[in-house]
Amino acid sequence: MRATFGSGRIAGVRIRVHWSVVVIFVVITVGLARNRLPDAGPGRPWAVYWAVGLLTATVFLASLLAHEVAHAVLARRNGIDVDDIVVWLLGGVARLKGEASNPGAELRIAGVGPLVSLVLGIVFGLFAWLADSISGGNVIVEALTWLAAVNVLLAVFNSIPAAPLDGGRLLRAFLWWRTGDRLRATIGATSAGRGFGWFLVLLGLFLFARGDALGGLWPVLVGWFVVAAATMERRQAQLRERLAGIPVRNAMTRDSVTVSASATVAEFLDPHHRHGHSAFPVTDGAGAPVGLLTLDAANHVPEPRRGMVTAGEIMLPLSRVVVVDPDDPLAELLPRLESGPENRVLVVDDGRLVGVLSASDVTRTMTWLVTTDPRHRER
């Protein structure tokens, strides 16, 4: 899942927004402005319903963001760096750079999200009660009541003991504490997640069969996401187990082809200078890495300007590229590795580029592991 644009930082954590957020924002706004708010306070100008609907949808997304920021803040307090928070169609995801070191940390990080949503639900409920006591039922009371209900629902849903939901993390923390085996705990939590996801899919199909197409869409969509995410989480846990003890240097591609930051796009795209890759590290005059340039970014430069635009102008800056040491554990990078040319990891030693790591490098390393004696992991 890739974010399409950034929207700043909160508590030092980079926030990214997926294009699908527009869909849920429109659905909530239209649903409130055309149905729920007019029913609660009939006779108002339509502009009032739309204004309150827009404001309510915005506050809901802010509540969702608060839920994820809480995860991120607790993660950092427990020694885990945070890549970013991505808000998308079905909620939000705080992407962590590592895992909790013990069951207690896992419990705190997982539990704080539903707790924040529950507190927000209670606060909105109190505001709705006060507004109703002062002015009686109106669109503001209805909007606050909706926000209270949806935040409580968010807290309850996320507490279901099924990965990748927060409740699944809580279940994994308990199983980890009980068995002392993180992998077994992850398999247990993800099995529960897959079971819950398939239940939602079947529920949605049942509603479809009864003629409730809209009512059946959301369970199918959410259920499919839960199944896919739980399956991916299990695979990553099994990969981490297999890759335990292997440093990045054993998997990285050495002697990678680099591009000078001062090189023009025309020079970069010259077929004689290409080496069959889709992304290239960019270096400065001293040979130090400063970013990453993809073929896709270069090809988007209009042809008449390719002789004037440089690699340094269109590259991903180093601040947006994952940079690691060659002796860092390969297993710890798995949550941060995705497919795609822009998802390369630059391996740097004392300011010098020594290699590049991609998802295909990890796959190649895994293939090597399963075809050789696991006791001999050094190449």
Tens digits of per-residue pLDDT, 224-271? 989 998 998 898 888 888 888 889 999 999 888 899 999 999 999 887
User: What pTM, to 2 d.p., does this model score?
Assistant: 0.78
Predicted local confidence at residue 276, as pLDDT: 67
* Highest mean pLDDT out of 263-277, 288-302, 318-332: 288-302
Does the pLDDT value for residue 377 go beyond 50? no
Average pLDDT, the chain: 87
pLDDT confidence of residue 273: 61
pLDDT above 70 as % of the chain: 92
Count of beta carbons in the 10 Å neighbourhood of residue 310: 18
- Confirm or reject CATH 3.10.580.10 for domain 248-370, answering yes or no: yes
Cis peptide before 114 (omega within 30 of 0): no
The Cα 74–Cα 242 span in angstroms is 28
Q: How do the domains of the chain map onto residue ranges? A: 5-159, 178-243, 248-370
pLDDT at 379 over 50: no
Catalytic residues: 68
pLDDT of residue 1: 53
Is the pLDDT score of 341 beyond 50?
yes
Phi, psi of 87 (to 5 degrees): -95, 130
When pLDDT is averaged across residues 329-351 and rounded to a whole number, the result is: 79
Q: pLDDT, tens digit, for every residue of 180-211?
A: 998 999 999 999 999 999 999 999 999 989 88
